């Protein structure tokens, strides 16, 4: 999330007609009490860990805290029903703030007395050696990231142990290894968790009907583009057992998926201005469009938002829309009927 996130002019359109969490809450006294209790710690976290100027209290009050309270409810339901932690998926492309959201929710939930662990789909990358072999076998996999570049079985094993409340070593990935090609890092031992976040740019995404590629949007324009898109679509099948371990899914969706290219340019320009290596605009275009060819947002993300029937994907539990400045502007639930929805009180 960019530093515009604490703009004093920020407002949230909560789209109450689509089942969003009521910002006033069905229990405002409880929310107000928690807000006062956690704000000092969140302020310190935002300043010292995230490098922000302050903690945006409006977003804390109207988005982060309500989501954390809803997660607390879902965690209790998972425990009461199956004596296991809640496995929460978070999907978001580059610049949407998925990692930041997971970190902030983790801080809030820790303050509420819950143990939380974070796992990124990036942590499940295949080893450097395995990815080199993949690229030699199929040069189209020239970047790490698309389906086919992850150790799905490792992810399944980790989530299954967590679901069974067993100690586990969380895999970690060092993106700087091998000159930026990346490789496995030392794992992080975890004894147990109440909530597990699995976040990534295509977490929960499912294959679409192959006929969709016959009329796919740009940059899927050539026969080679369509062949690659179909190959990646097929490889998504391998991820379904991993997605099936998720209890819930939150999607951070830019109001225009093309913002990701703009955001990447801004990030690379900042790196270059700071004297660090960075990609040229041409390299950025090729990089971003590579991922649009592999999993185009109009084909693969739209079903999760309730805006397409190209796949049998169930809609996300909540969608947070993100504007051009990385700011959340709207929260809605595509799975809910057109009526206001209020989260249950953790005290119930």
Determine, yes or no, domain membership for 341: no
| Both tokens assigned to 43 | 């302020």
Which residue has tokens 């009526």? 339
Determine, yes or no, domain membership for 165: yes
Residue 315: predicted pLDDT = 82
Domains held by the chain: number: 1
- pTM to 2 decimal places: 0.89
Q: Please, what is the Cα angle at 121 between 117 and 124, to 5 degrees?
A: 95
Determine, yes or no, domain membership for 5: no
Determine, yes or no, domain membership for 148: yes
Residue 138: predicted pLDDT = 97
| CATH number (domain holding residue 279) | 3.40.50.300
Q: How far apart are CA 90 and CA 319, in angstroms?
A: 10
Residue 310: predicted pLDDT = 62
Residue 29: predicted pLDDT = 82
Sheet holding 116-120, edge to edge: 116-120, 195-200, 86-92, 248-254, 318-322, 328-332
What pLDDT, in 10s, does the model give residues 13-44?
A: 444 333 445 533 446 788 889 999 999 999 99
Residue 309: predicted pLDDT = 64
Determine, yes or no, domain membership for 78: yes
Determine, yes or no, domain membership for 348: no
Which domain range does residue 60 map to?
Answer: 28-332
DSSP category for residue 310: S
What pLDDT, in 10s, does the model give residues 176-199?
A: 999 999 999 999 999 999 999 999
Residue 301: CB partners within 8 Å, gap ≥ 6?
91, 205, 251, 253, 257
- Nearest CA to 143 out of 176, 175, 181 is that of 181
Residue 306: CB partners within 8 Å, gap ≥ 6?
315, 334, 335
Preceding peptide of 219 cis, ω within 30°: yes
Residue 161: predicted pLDDT = 97
Residue 36: predicted pLDDT = 94
Determine, yes or no, domain membership for 65: yes
Residue 335: predicted pLDDT = 77
pLDDT in 10s for each residue of the chain, 348 residues: 433 333 333 344 444 333 445 533 446 788 889 999 999 999 999 999 999 999 999 999 999 999 999 999 999 999 999 999 999 999 999 899 999 999 999 999 999 999 999 999 999 999 999 999 999 999 999 999 999 999 999 999 999 999 999 999 999 999 999 999 999 999 999 999 999 999 999 999 999 999 999 999 999 999 999 999 999 999 999 999 999 999 999 999 999 999 999 999 999 999 999 999 999 999 999 999 999 999 999 999 999 998 766 656 668 999 999 999 999 999 999 877 554 443 333 333
Residue 337: predicted pLDDT = 54
Instruction: Dump the DSSP string for 12-81.
Output: -B--GGGTPBPSS-S-HHHHHHHHHHHHHHHHHHHHHTS--SS--HHHIIIIIHHHHHHHHHHHHHHHHH
Instruction: Go through the chain and tell me how many residues it has.
Output: 348
Residue 301: predicted pLDDT = 95
Q: How far apart are CA 62 and CA 76, in angstroms?
A: 22
Determine, yes or no, domain membership for 344: no
Residue 120: predicted pLDDT = 98
């Amino acid at each position: 999330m960019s530093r515009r996130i604490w703009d004093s002019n920020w407002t949230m359109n909560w789209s109450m007609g689509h089942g969003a969490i009521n910002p006033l809450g069905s229990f405002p006294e409880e929310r107000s009490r928690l807000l006062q209790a956690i704000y000092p710690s969140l302020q310190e976290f935002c300043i010292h860990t995230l490098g922000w100027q302050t903690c945006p209290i409006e977003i804390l009050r109207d988005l982060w805290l309500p989501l954390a309270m809803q997660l607390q409810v879902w965690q209790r339901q998972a425990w009461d029903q199956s004596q296991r932690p809640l496995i929460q998926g978070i999907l978001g492309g580059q610049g949407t703030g998925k990692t930041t959201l997971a970190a902030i929710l983790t801080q809030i939930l820790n303050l509420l007395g819950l143990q939380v662990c974070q796992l990124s789909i990036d942590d499940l990358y295949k080893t450097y050696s395995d990815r080199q072999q993949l690229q030699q076998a199929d040069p189209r996999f020239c970047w790490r990231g698309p389906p086919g570049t992850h150790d799905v079985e490792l992810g399944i094993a980790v989530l299954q142990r967590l679901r069974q409340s067993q100690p586990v070593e969380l895999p970690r990935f060092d993106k700087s290894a091998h000159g930026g090609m990346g490789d496995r890092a030392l794992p992080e031992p975890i004894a147990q968790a109440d909530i597990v976040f699995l976040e990534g740019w295509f977490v929960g995404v499912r294959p679409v009907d192959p006929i969709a590629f016959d009329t796919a949007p740009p940059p899927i324009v050539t026969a080679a583009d369509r062949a690659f898109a179909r190959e990646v679509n097929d490889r998504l099948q391998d991820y379904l057992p991993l997605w099936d371990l998720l209890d819930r899914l939150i999607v951070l969706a830019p109001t225009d998926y093309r913002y990701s290219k703009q955001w990447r340019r801004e990030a690379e320009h900042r790196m270059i201005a700071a004297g660090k290596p960075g990609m040229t605009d041409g390299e950025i275009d090729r990089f971003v469009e590579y991922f649009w060819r592999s999993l185009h947002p109009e084909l693969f993300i739209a079903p999760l938002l309730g805006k397409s029937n190209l796949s049998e994907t169930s809609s996300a539990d909540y969608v947070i829309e993100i504007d051009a400045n990385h700011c959340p502007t709207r929260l809605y639930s595509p799975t809910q009927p057109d009526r206001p929805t209020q989260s249950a009180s953790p005290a119930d």
